[in-house]
Structure 1
Amino acid sequence: MHSLEQGKAPIYEALQKYKSMRVVPFDVPGHKQGRGNPELTEFLGEKCLSVDVNSMKPLDNLVHPVSVIKEAEELAADAFDAKHAFFMVNGTTSAVQAMIMSVCKQGDKIIMPRNVHRSAINALIISGAIPVYVNPGVDNKLGISLGMPIDEVKKAIADNPDAKAILVNNPTYYGICSDLRTITELAHRHNMYVLVDEAHGTHFYFGENMPVNAMAAGADMAAVSMHKTGGSLTQSSFLLINDRLSVGHVRQTINLTQTTSGSYLLLSSLDISRRNLALNGKRIFEKVSLLANYARDEVNKIGGYYAFSKELINGDSVFDFDPTKLSIYTREIGLAGIEVYDILRDDYGIQIEFGDIGNILAIISVGDRALALERLVSSLSEIKRRYSKDKTGMLDHEYITPEVVMAPQQAFYSNQRSVAIKDSQGYISGEFVMAYPPGIPILAPGERITEEIMDYITYAKAKGSSLTGTEDMAIENIRVVEE
């Protein structure tokens, strides 16, 4: 049970009080409660702009909280069973970067799976930390990367006893979880920190029969995207820490990159959403799980598609599965996931989270209704009938084992030149190439460009994947390290 009064929302309450005081603003923002920008006020509403305010004494300050934000942080920590919770307004990207930068300095090693979000590799470019990649397990049929196999983690620890930390995805984009408790025990036994990217795991803290969450597993830090499945506004997240880290040190690290003008729209959305989940989360995520399971069963009845779930659990690289994820394998009907993604949006007015080479993902959360899921299922059925074709010649894997030649920071800041991707084989990449979403790099700075990677990029482009990361917006050329 929570020890604090979870019915409170201190930031939200302070903003309500501020509104009632009818303060005359001679501070920023310059739109002055919306009066200076009538079009924006009409678009977003007076209620919204009247609380788009600057830090001031009654509303506290995110950089150095002493009153309402401090109290809201304590309530959030209590709700998530953490030692402390930081309000993050630069997205979960900044939370992942703060985790890594809090425990790794230049030259320090960090063990991580290669299928991390780009934000983790960006943190290595900023901090100068050196990645030790654990290749995730791979499901050859689905073509997706899985969790971190324990033997691979043990090997990485044995080969790199001086590593400072291990980073784990919990869950992956597809809903797959590693054995977080065992990894945490192994890491702590070797005096390493455990950092968890829980961008897609907010509901693990509040739902019943969910995979274990980072704080319960004893991890040291977790980056939690409240906006993804917890109901807060886009770009708002929590960074949670446990007992082995100093609150002051982590806050200083956050303040290196986080804005000094924390948005009260984002802060209050975190405050209100935390209250809602602490009070109603069990019921909310029970409903979400039921909706996802219903949709999964219906999709599997169509035939040709495979909406996968807990049957993938193998006790190791798939230690657990997030039942709220509607991940669907599409290659059997002769369509890449990205093709189904495009057809759903263009022909049926349905926007799903992402499609890649072999799968699509629909995020099911607090805001979904059975009727909308029925529309998704019937649309998938119709797509199969109208568009399915022979699957011969389709690329059948997502994960390519990287050849890391130099540290990401060294590659990123080295002398570079631009070459055509089709002529880039053998060079060391100086930049990223990734499909977004999910934002997991196909190629990261410091990695050798191979024929397999070139083929993958060509195929992903041809199928309609939205590729990002290169300086060249057309993704025809890539910057390589001058050797």
Structure 2
Amino acid sequence: MATFSPGDLLILPRNSHISVISALVLSGALPKYIIPHILNDCGHCCWSLHLRSVLKQIPGISVLDNSSFPASPAVDPLRLTVGFWNLGLSGSEADKILYKDYDVICEIFRNRSITYALNLGTCREHVHRLVLGIKRLAATYGSIPKAEKKVVNVHAPFDDVIMSMIPRDAFFASKRKVAIRESIGEVAGEIICPYPPGVPILIPGEVVTENIVDYLLLVTSKGAEVNGASDSSLSSIVVCGKLAAGKEHP
């Protein structure tokens, strides 16, 4: 990002990590969002499919997949999110055991789950250690399975992104705080990023929509933590002002 100048065009997925989005904002580049196509017959995707299939068969283990988000355009097949709540374990507790006993390193853990990243370096040995470790956790901490709560789905927040200002311009613009419901139709002045998954739902310069507000209120009600927002409770957010009537994004 250090090579970009304000106004340069940058092609990237909208669901990029917060570190990428933060660099975009500071560089002044103008984003053009794409939905990348991932070849499901590549080696690391095959490992991902294999892992999902095996882990779903282990009692007490939950695996996040496309069925959890029917309105989402795609779920990254190279990110594997495993839930341990039916074992009575938090993501932190499970991660400590898997790291110490099986040398398995996660991408991120949350209150009830762990996310693993698969890549070109993923091999049979890595997959074997992960499966062996999770099977041992299930055997050691297994309890009577509880009914798994389905994820309540809202309209995918990236389907209708409206860019009103270049992110850098919005970041340095004059701002004010408004109640979150009153922010609908206004231009975001801050990055709002719930964890999991660590992907900003709003970045400076984007128009706040009802779908985005609904999504943010839903995930925070489910225990997600919010980074970037000046008000972590999301009772209010920082905006730049209303989108002018009839104005189109650049």
Fold equivalence (TM over 0.5)? yes
In the alignment, the residues of structure 1 paired with residue 57 and residue 64 of structure 2 have an alpha-carbon distance, to the nearest angstrom, of 6
RMSD: 4.1
Give 1:307 shift: 6.2
Determine which of 77, 80, 94 is the counterpart of 1:350.
94
2:2 matched residue in structure 1: 101
Identity among equivalent positions (%) equals 30
Q: What are the within-5 Å matches in structure 2 for residues 446-461 of structure 1?
A: 446-461=205-220
1:122 matched residue in structure 2: 22
1:444 matched residue in structure 2: 203
Q: Structure 1 residues 343, 478: closer, same or farther in 2, change over 3 A?
A: farther
In the alignment, the residues of structure 2 paired with residue 436 and residue 307 of structure 1 have an alpha-carbon distance, to the nearest angstrom, of 15
Quick check: 2:184–2:213 contact (8 Å CA) kept in 1? yes
Q: What TM-score do you get using the length of structure 1 for normalisation?
A: 0.37
* Secondary structure of 1:447's aligned partner: coil
The superposition leaves residues 105-151 of structure 1 with CA deviations (integer Å, 9 ceiling, x where unpaired) of 111111111011122222222221101112x2xxxxxxxxxxx14xx
Q: What are the within-5 Å matches in structure 2 for residues 272-287 of structure 1?
A: none
Q: Structure 1 residues 420, 307: closer, same or farther in 2, change over 3 A?
A: closer
In the alignment, the residues of structure 1 paired with residue 191 and residue 133 of structure 2 have an alpha-carbon distance, to the nearest angstrom, of 36
2:135 matched residue in structure 1: 374
In the alignment, the residues of structure 1 paired with residue 57 and residue 173 of structure 2 have an alpha-carbon distance, to the nearest angstrom, of 49
Give 1:464 shift: 0.3
Q: What letter corresponds to residue 345 of structure 1 in structure 2?
A: S
What are the ranges of 5 or more consecutive residues in structure 1 without an aligned counterpart?
Answer: 1-99, 137-147, 150-176, 180-207, 212-288, 310-316, 329-336
In the alignment, the residues of structure 2 paired with residue 464 and residue 379 of structure 1 have an alpha-carbon distance, to the nearest angstrom, of 27
Alignment of 1:466 with 2:225, yes or no, is yes
2:115 matched residue in structure 1: 361
* Secondary structure of 1:440's aligned partner: coil
Which protein has the bigger helix share?
1
Rg comparison, structure with higher value: 1
* Secondary structure of 1:349's aligned partner: helix
* Secondary structure of 1:350's aligned partner: helix
Q: Structure 1 residues 307, 108: closer, same or farther in 2, change over 3 A?
A: closer
Q: What TM-score do you get using the length of structure 2 for normalisation?
A: 0.67
2:176 matched residue in structure 1: 417
Q: What are the within-5 Å matches in structure 2 for residues 224-239 of structure 1?
A: none
Give 1:397 shift: 5.7
1:283 matched residue in structure 2: none
Give 1:363 shift: 5.2
Give 1:441 shift: 0.7
Quick check: 1:299–1:307 contact (8 Å CA) kept in 2? no
What are the ranges of 5 or more consecutive residues in structure 2 without an aligned counterpart?
Answer: 67-73, 96-105, 243-250
Q: What letter corresponds to residue 395 of structure 1 in structure 2?
A: N
Q: What letter corresponds to residue 344 of structure 1 in structure 2?
A: L
How many residue pairs match? The answer is 213
Quick check: 2:195–2:225 contact (8 Å CA) kept in 1? yes
Quick check: 1:307–1:326 contact (8 Å CA) kept in 2? yes
Quick check: 1:340–1:360 contact (8 Å CA) kept in 2? no
Determine which of 57, 78, 100 is the counterpart of 1:300.
57
* Secondary structure of 2:5's aligned partner: coil
